[in-house]
Chains A and B, each alone.
Chain A
Amino acid sequence: MTGDAVATLGRAEVVEAATWSPLAIARDRCKGCELCVAACPHHLLALDRTIVNALGYHPIQLLDAALCTSCAFCARVCPDAVFTVYAPPKRETAR
C-alpha cells in the first residue's frame, strides 16, 4: 500500500489544522458512508455536518490530528479512496 507522495493527491484538499495532519482527505470524493468512522480505532473521524460537497454529502473530517497514529484503517475501508495517509513526523526524523 505504498505509492508516490504528492503526485497522487490529485484534487485532494488538505485538512488545515493548527498542527501537521497525517491525513489528506479528498472531500469532494467523500460520500459520507461513515465506514471509516467505525474503522478508526481512536474514533477520530466524523462527518462535517456544516458543509455539503458537490456530490451532495457531508464529507468526513479528522477531529484531532495529534491523536492519529497513521494506522490507515480508514483508508483501507474507504470505497472511494478518499484518504492519503502520512507517517507521523517524529518517525520521519529518526530515519
Chain B
Amino acid sequence: MTTAAAPRVIFSRPELLNDVSTHYCPGCGHGIVHRLLAEVLGELELGPRTIAVAPVGCAVFAYDYLGLDWVEAPHGRAPAVATGIRRVRPDNFVLAYQGDGDLAAIGTAEIIHAAGRGELITVIFVNNGIYGMTGGQMAPTTLLGQRTTSTPAGREARLAGYPIPMTEMLAILPGVAYAARGSVIDPAHIGKAKGMIKRACQAQIDGTGFAIVEVLSTCPVGWGMTAHESMEHLADVEKVYPLGVLVDRSTATLQPASGKGG
C-alpha cells in the first residue's frame, strides 16, 4: 500500500473465496452468491467443518472457488448426496448449492424428500430462470413470455407450462425450518440475502431442520442483456417470485412459548 499508516479495511475478498478468476460470465450472479457464502461461512467459523455438494450447471466449478471439501453430485441429486453425508457425519456442516435446472427440474424428487425428511442441511438455490451452462434453454423457473433457446417465441403456458414456485412448495413441509427468497438486484438486497443465508446456516447449527435460501440471480448472456439490464430485469422476476422469508420455524422451535410459525 502507499500510505505510512495501514488503513482500516472496510471490505475485502473473504478468506474462503479463492483468489482465482472465475469462469462465470461478466455480471453473473453466481459470483455474488459465492462471495456471500464465503462471508457467512467465515463469520460462523464453519469453513473447516463444511462438506459441500456441487451441482451440475454453471456452478459445477464451485469447488474451485470456495475453499471447502466438495463432492460433485449428478445433476439434481445434490440433496440426496447431502443426506448421505449428513447421516454419517453428524458433526460436519452440510451444504448443497444448486441452480434452477438442478433443483427445480431433474432434482425435484430429491429436494422435496430431503425437505420432507427435515434433513439437517442448508440448500442455496440460485434461480436465474434459465439453463446457462448448456446455452440458455428454458428452465422450470423461466417466466411466461421469456425467450430462451428452447422457447424462441417466448414461453407459452399451453405448451411449456408455468414457472414453478419451488420454495413456496417446500415451505409448507413441517420438516422445513427456514425457507426464504432473496435477490442480488442491488447492494441493499444483496445485504438482505446475506442475512437469509446466515439464518439458513444457523438453522442447521441449531438443529432445527431443513433450510433453503432461493436467490434470484442473473444470466446476462442467456437473457441477451447487459449486466445492468439483467439486474433491472430482476424487478420483473420478483413479481412472479416474491422476496421475503416464506417460513421461519427455527425461532418457534427454540422458544416454544412463541405463537409464531409451525
Contacts and interface: CB of A to CB of B under 8 A. Distances in A.
Direct contact of A and B (CB under 8 A): yes
Given A6-B1, A35-B231, A75 B11 contact: yes
B156 interface: no
Contact of A33 (B11, B21, B26): B26
Q: Tell me what chain A mostly uses at the interface: helix, strand, loop, or mixed.
A: loop
Interface size class of A (residues with CB under 8 A): 35 or more
Interface residues of B, number: 39
Most B C-beta atoms less than 10 A away, residue of A16, A21, A32, A81: A81
A9 to B, nearest CB: 8
B96 to A, nearest CB: 21
Nearest to A76: B187
Main secondary structure of the interface of B (DSSP, over half): loop
B87 interface: no
Nearest to B19: A10
A8 B6 contact: no
Interface stretch (B30-38, B48-56, B203-211): B30-38
Interface in A44-95: 55, 57, 70, 72-73, 75-81, 83-87, 89, 91-92
B242 to A, nearest CB: 22
B231 to A, nearest CB: 7
Contacts of B1: 6, 14, 24
Interface of B: 1-3, 5-15, 17, 19, 21-22, 24-32, 35, 39, 184, 186-187, 190-191, 220, 226-228, 231
